[in-house]
Structure 1
Amino acid sequence: MPEGLQSEGWYSNLNGKDRYIFFNAAPIRDAEGNLLAVVESLEDITDRKRYEEQIEHQANFDELTQLPNRSLLNDRIQQALHTARRKDYNMALLLIDLDNFKFILDTFGHDVGNQLLKIVASRLVGYVRASDTLARQGGDQFVVVASDLGEPEHAATVADKIRSIISEQVKIADLEFSITCSIGISVFPRDGEDVQTLIRAAGMAMYRAKQQGYNNFQFYTDEMNALSQGHLTMGNLLRHALERNELQLHYQPKVNLRTGQITGMEALIRWQSPTLGTVSPAEFIPIAEETGLIEPIGEWVIRTACAQNKAWQVVHHDSLTVAVNVSARQFRGGNLSAAVSRALQETGLAPHCLELELTESLVMHDVETVAAILTELKKVGISLAMDDFGTGYSSISCLKRFPFDKIKIDQSFVREVTTDPNSAAIARTVIAMAQSLHLKVIAEGVETEGQLSYLRRNGCDEIQGYYFSRPLPAAEFERLLREGRCLQLPEEHICPRKTLLIVDDEEAVAAALAAVLETDGYHVLVANSAAQGLELMANHHVAVVLADQRMPGISGSEFLGTVKEIYPESVRMILSGAADFDTVTNAINCGAIYKFLFKPLAAEELRLKVGDAFRHYESLHKRSERVMHHSQGG
């Protein structure tokens, strides 16, 4: 018998329960070495063994999803790489990141977030092959290691299926919602031959997928690495930009739509780098956020804007308000209120002459914390504006909780306010909502007279945009103040009860119609395209619209359908020689068209039909006035 024998393992006891037993046998011999006896011992170490297994499991598996964690993932990737090298095949690493997961956490809480992660993990487990590895990288990120790929492009099929199963509707308690994901893919050996290189490449590809608008997948490319290196270089240069006076502020004026006077300006940061040239804020602000430089840069912007505004007030005696954008990291850094107070004290600017602009998406996360920070800022005495309104998740109930003074309509809606019914409806709704909450409304990105007129007609308080002025360096802005430049507001045009718009792509036909109707005292506007027609509608109070049915690019009935959505009070008529009866009938039935007129039309009949249309407008207008008078208790 060998000098001692040891063994251990799981055994069932008399009750049928598994126990882990450690067995030890030690021989007893005489002086000559003869075996006299064997001392055997059995020790039940079940509790210790289970504790050891628990510790090992916790070290290698995620507690929430029970998937391999980051530590075990690295080991699994190493094993997969070893096998891929030996068998000479491709291997793909897919990094999966859930889109807008933080919003779900902030809105519904961590319990719902954890349940969602478990559901996603379960769905992925049901799809991933047994020969592959599925792991939770941490947070809302998962990793799939797909071995034995025939071609690298086959990873696209895997990624597309993963997107599909994750996007299926989720139901948690009484909540139902869908979630999407962005996936970055790196492939061995094409994109790297070690664990860290492949993970880093997949990460860059995943962030590119996010930049492409979420809910998609991207393969890693060398250009991404070059971009990453460029970001690193830019970050290093940005660290010295402040001390080298490479940053400067430009100022874009805000104008009152009732008086045309400049009421304030928005301070916009610019970077003129000796190495990189002019760098767009869209490029360097995200890097400043990532590196933490946004806080010192943000403080510099606030202090510089306050000092400049104070200097202008001393010279020009105008109590202008300067607005400064606040980033998410700067807002949540905990020092914003102190930084604002310090800047006001150092520069001597009155608190009410400083305004902070915060994006809608920023304030809609962690509402309680945001409300506390905003209340603290209001105690300082400054103004607060919600920027990019309409692009996020806000609601009236949430707005009522925040002490905002102004709302800014996002330029994406302003850009199409005269041509897109949805943008026009959003603009009108935002203005009406703001008025009900006693908030001022600023429209940003105003570039045309039509946009200006439409917003002014619907009660917008202020505008900013290239129609009045681009952002200007401080010296040029001061010249603008010194010259007393104002916005020349469009004149209030003739009463709509006498204004008619003719839209026809044939100039001769449109001119002939106008000549006939002008003799009856109408104020006739002429457009030779739908786009011109919408611009004229924005600039004039039009009562009746007469459009030709056959126009290039858009039919008359389609054009009048748009007019109906944006200007429902107008009376709309179609004039055509060849009718598409189904289209016209549908347009009439849905209220887009008041009457359909056939060509050729005698002058007297034209006058008669147009007269009927104006009388119809009058009756609608009077009915509306009676309803309004009655609703006001008159």
Structure 2
Amino acid sequence: TNQSEKAFITEAKRFLQDHPTARGVALVDQSGQIKYGYSLDRPQQFSNELSQWSVLKQVQSWLEHVVSESNAHLFLNNATNNAAWFWLGIGIPGINTERQILVIAHDLQQFLDSALRPDLSAIRFQIHMNSSMLYDNVTQHATARYLGTTTFEPHHDINWALSTWTMPKAAPLLSRLLPDFLFLVCLGFTTLLIRTLRLSHDVVQRSDALSQAIYYDYLTGLPNKSSLIRKLEEECALARAQASSLSIILFDLNGLKLINDSMGFEVGDRILREVANRLSRELPSPHWLARLEGDEFIVVVTGTTSNQVTQLARHLIEVIARPYHHQQVELHLTASAGITSHVANMPEPLELIREADLASAQAKQSGRNTWREYANELGSNVNTRLSLRTDLQKALANDHFSMHYQPLINGFTGRITSAEALLRWPHSDRGYISPSLFVPIAEESGLIIPLSQWVLNAVCRDKAALNRTFVANFPFIINISPLYFQHPRFIEELNHALACHNLSPQDIQIEITEGVFLERVDHTISKLSTLRELGFSVSVDDFGTGYSSLSYLKDLPVDKIKIDSSFVRQIAGDRKSAAISKAIIGLSHHLGLKVVAEGVETEAQYWFLKRHFCDEFQGHLFARAMPMDKLEARLREKGGVEILPTAPETDLAHRAILVLDDEENILNALHRVLRREGYVVFKASSTREAFDILAEQDIQVIISDQRLPNMTGTEFFSEIKNLYPSTIRIILSGYADLKSLTEAINHGAVYKFMAKPWDDNELRQTLLQAFKEVELRATFSS
């Protein structure tokens, strides 16, 4: 039963309870098709009689008359079982363009008996209306006499003409009471008519209101999700039949929550209405707009090419991004749009919406204020995540996790200063699942809190076991999820875990990410202060990758800052990564904080960071993460000290030159010439190799060819100028791009240009001058 029928039945029940003479109520069209019907006492019998009655020709003629006149009309039914029935029909607006009729069946005898006084109920009479016999209970054997006709108009839509017949002996009484009798009868019909008209109005009004609530969004007035589903069902059927295209674009607003939180929901609602108005104005016909829910809108696009759909998405994203204004304050929103398109072979409407939603989520992950198209890989990724979520819950219930530990190394002594606890999930079918995959699933599903509690207890158990062996005395580091850190019982559970395993705060270090500072900064700093007061050491992981502000870094009660592996990975050859890493080291030291570099995998990375005074190192260059038993065995074997990389000995008496050329014979020839002059010569055949040597060695002069595989010599020197500004840089090449060389020399990237084939004496003199320049710069810098 739908909402409209429920509304009809509710009103019909009220009416029938108020009018005992009414047998049933129905809603029909002019052809006699029954939409709804209801009776209090005999619903099935009423339904059967209604079906038989509505197909009669005279009934259909009467129904057409009701519709054409748009008035209330009475209809006399054939008498059945010595009872006469009449119908009251009222034309009402239809849901679409057709008009419908509200009809009510009445027992005429009961109606008149209830309308007349008891002492007049035995009177025999006939009633005519509009030249038709309305009622006749006069027996065929009685001698009747026509008394007269009275006209009465209780309602402007109806004319009443009633004629009364009676037995001669009742004539005196009836003559005296006839006006009262007529008045009561007509008053009864009038009351019935007015209440019935009110019923039809209420049914229509409530039906319209329910239809509006069911199919339209109360805030924006746009079609809602129910209306969207109905629209997509129609368009999908049409696209299948015509082998045409259908696309939908889902717009997910970014920034509305901030407006709601900072300025209130009333402002947020006003902005939503403005978004709806903008999209409605800018959307060309015949495309169709709906509000899905919350801050999501959907556009249904028909009969367009893929390129036109993406152009429309791009345009509407720009429309949404235009500034909004509230009380002279400029507000901004962006939108992440997801597009899904199909031709002929249409999925179900909900599947279309799901595809667009997945594409929108990908757009949000790609930086927002952009669009992405749905691809099958997105759907399979979601199915994988759903499967992993189920498996994750089972693994947590059955302790199917393990802890591995990766040492952190002092960069100057090689001693292990701590070990980071890393959660591992050995899946029975998929092997080891990366934490980067299952941790976000745990956060989305609410499993991150029990998972964090499991990790806390497991690490404390392992640390207590290590303490009993007396092999080493350094803390274990636990990386705490932002959600668990903000948990109200986090510190209480942390202390309880330590107490259960007889540990102190010096045995466990807390590591947090920048994510904890995105919300409730004051609360976070207060909680960190409490941890420090309890004796815990705290480090900040992935520093520089999130949205943390330097303005509160000076107030953070932490001990260490970790340089993220994304910077370390490119540090030897990318001036931006190198600049950020050097800045983090310098800033942290000035604030009295230690610095840890994670993800150190090459000696070049190590020497670059060490040269810039990084304190501790973590990465595969020293040790991979390992289970507890292997960590303990390694500690017994090495005594808690790792071997540090050693660099070749170079000093200023043996001046260091790096030669870069992709031709081996050139490298060998230069090496022979320069070695005879007493220089320490390092050879590189690629810029990658050259960057690594520069990171590891103290190079004073660099000689490079101009033509290199992946960049020119002048481009290479422009990078070197920023990374190693004290070096002297010489181009030695048979190819000369005068414009590039001139610009490089003018900007100080190139010290001198020499042509191939070179003159050995000229090269010697050039290098002598270069090293004098090195000594001169060293003198001024000291």
Q: Match for 1:469: what amino acid? A: A
Does structure 1 residue 530 correspond to structure 2 residue 687?
yes
Cα 1:216/1:193, change in 2 over 3 Å: same
1:488 matched to 2:676? The reply is: no
**Partner of 1:437 in structure 2?**
591
Q: CA RMSD in A?
A: 4.0
Alpha-carbon deviation of 1:264? 1.1
Which residue is equivalent to 1:572?
Answer: 729
1:124 aligns with 2:279: yes
Q: What is the one-letter code of the residue matched to 2:253?
A: L
SS of the residue aligned with 1:483?
helix
Q: Deviations over 1:534-576 (max 9, x none)?
A: 1110001112212122333322212111111111121211122
1:551 paired to 2:708: yes
Pairwise CA distance, 1:416: 0.7
Question: Which of 544, 550, 554 is 1:400 aligned to?
Answer: 554
Shift of 1:38: 8.8
Supply the distance in 2 between the matched residues of 1:503 and 1:24 (Cα, whole angstroms): 107
Higher RCO (CA < 8 A, seq sep 6+): 1
**Counterpart-to-counterpart distance in 2, 1:105 and 1:402:** 29
What whole-Å deviation, never above 9, does each CA across 1:451-483 have from its counterpart, x for those lacking one? 000011111111111111221122211122111
1:12 is matched with none
Report the CA distance between 1:189 and its aligned residue: 7.1
CA contact (8 A) 1:107 1:365 kept: no
- Residue range with higher mean Cα deviation, 510-519 or 537-546: 510-519
Contact 2:249 / 2:338 at 8 angstroms: preserved in 1?
yes
Distance 1:386 1:57, change over 3 A: farther
Report sequence identity in percent.
Answer: 33
SS, match of residue 745 in structure 2: helix
Query: Structure 1, residues 400-441: CA drift from partner, whole Å, max 9, x if none?
Result: 243222211111111110111111111111111111222211
**Structure of larger gyration radius:** 2
Partner of 2:718: 561
In the TM superposition, residue 164 of structure 1 has moved relative to its aligned partner by 4.1
Query: Is 1:262–2:416 an aligned residue pair?
Result: yes
- Bigger mean CA offset, 30-39 vs 224-233: 30-39
Counterparts in 2 of 1:481-630, with a 5 A limit?
Answer: 481-484=635-638, 485-491=641-647, 493-495=649-651, 498-625=655-782
User: Which shifted more, 218-227 or 236-245?
Assistant: 218-227
Aligned residues: 602
Does 2:419 correspond to 1:233?
A: no
Q: In the alignment, residue 616 of structure 1 is paired with which amino acid?
A: E
CA distance in 1, matches of 2:269, 2:190: 56
Q: 1-side partners of 2:546 and 2:563: how far apart? A: 12
Counterpart Cα distance in 1 of 2:754 and 2:269: 64
CA distance change for structure 1 residues 352 and 576 in 2, over 3 Å: closer, same or farther?
Answer: same
Correspondence list, 1:45-194, <5 A: 66-68=220-222, 72-82=224-234, 85=237, 88=241, 90-99=245-254, 120-129=275-284, 131-146=286-301, 148-150=302-304, 155-167=309-321, 179-185=334-340, 190-194=345-349
**1:451 partnered with 2:605:** yes
User: Greater shift after overlay, 382-391 or 484-493?
Assistant: 484-493
Contact 1:502 1:510 in 2 (8 A): yes
More displaced stretch, 466-475 vs 277-286: 277-286
1:155 & 1:85 partners in 2: Cα distance? 20
Q: Which stretch of the first structure deviates more once superposed, 82-91 or 342-351?
A: 82-91
- Residues 471 and 632 in structure 2, CA contact (< 8 A), matched pair in contact too: no
For residues 24 and 285 of structure 1, what CA distance do their matches in structure 2 show?
75
Question: In the aligned structure 2, how far is the partner of 1:109 from the partner of 1:494?
Answer: 66
User: 1:248 deviation in Å?
Assistant: 0.5
Task: Say which SS state the counterpart of residue 334 (structure 2) adopts.
Answer: coil
Shift of 1:86: 5.8
The Cα offsets for residues 376-419 of structure 1, whole Å up to 9 and x where unpaired, read as 44344322222222222222113224322221111111111011
- Structure 1 residue 228: deviation in Å? 3.1
**SS of residue paired to 1:242:** helix
Could you tell me which residue of structure 2 aligns to residue 249 of structure 1?
A: 403
Distance 2:508 2:267 in 1: 40
* 2:658 aligned counterpart, secondary structure: strand
| Cα distance in 2 between the residues matched to 1:312 and 1:417 | 35
Distance 2:261 2:631 in 1: 41
2:615 aligns with one of 455, 458, 461: 461
In 2, Cα distance between equivalents of 1:91 and 1:191: 8
Contact 1:388-1:408 within 8 A present in 2 as well:
yes
Contact residue 262 and residue 486 of structure 1 kept, 8 A: yes
Q: Which residue of 1 aligns with 2:494?
A: 340
- Letter of the 1:31 partner, please give it: F
CA distance in 2, matches of 1:311, 1:276: 31
Q: 1:371 aligns with which of 525, 535, 541?
A: 525
Unaligned runs of 5+ in 1: 10-22, 44-48, 626-634
Q: Distance in 2 between matches of 1:447 and 1:108?
A: 49
The worse-fitting range, judged by mean Cα deviation, of 600-609 and 126-135 is: 126-135
What TM-score, normalized to structure 2?
Answer: 0.68
Q: Secondary structure, in 3 states, of the residue corresponding to 2:181?
A: coil
Does the residue aligned with 1:95 lie in a helix, a strand or coil? strand
Q: Which shifted more, 107-116 or 77-86?
A: 107-116
Asked whether the 8 Å contact 2:222–2:289 carries over to 1, the reply is yes
Q: For each residue in 1:497-547, what CA deviation from the matched residue of structure 2 results, as whole angstroms up to 9, or x when unmatched?
A: 722222222333333333333344332222222222111100011122121
- What are the within-5 Å matches in structure 2 for residues 275-424 of structure 1? 275-316=429-470, 318-424=472-578
For the structure 1 residues 611 and 322, does the alpha-carbon distance in structure 2 shift closer, same or farther, using more than 3 Å as the test? Answer: same
User: How far has the Cα of 1:296 moved from its partner?
Assistant: 0.9
Structure 1's 388 and 104: CA in aligned 2 closer, same or farther, altered over 3 A? farther
Query: Which residue matches 2:19?
Result: none
Per the TM alignment, residue 73 of structure 1 is displaced from its structure 2 partner at its CA by 2.8
Distance 1:193 1:50, change over 3 A: closer
Residue 334 of structure 2 aligns with an amino acid whose one-letter code is: I
Once the 2 structures are TM-superposed, how far is the Cα of residue 107 of structure 1 from its aligned partner? 9.2
Q: Partners in 2 of 1:461 and 1:546 — Cα distance? A: 33
Question: Matches of 1:387 and 1:380 in 2, distance apart?
Answer: 21
Q: Which amino acid in 2 is paired with 1:206?
A: S
Structure 1 Cα separation of the partners of residues 393 and 415 of structure 2: 39
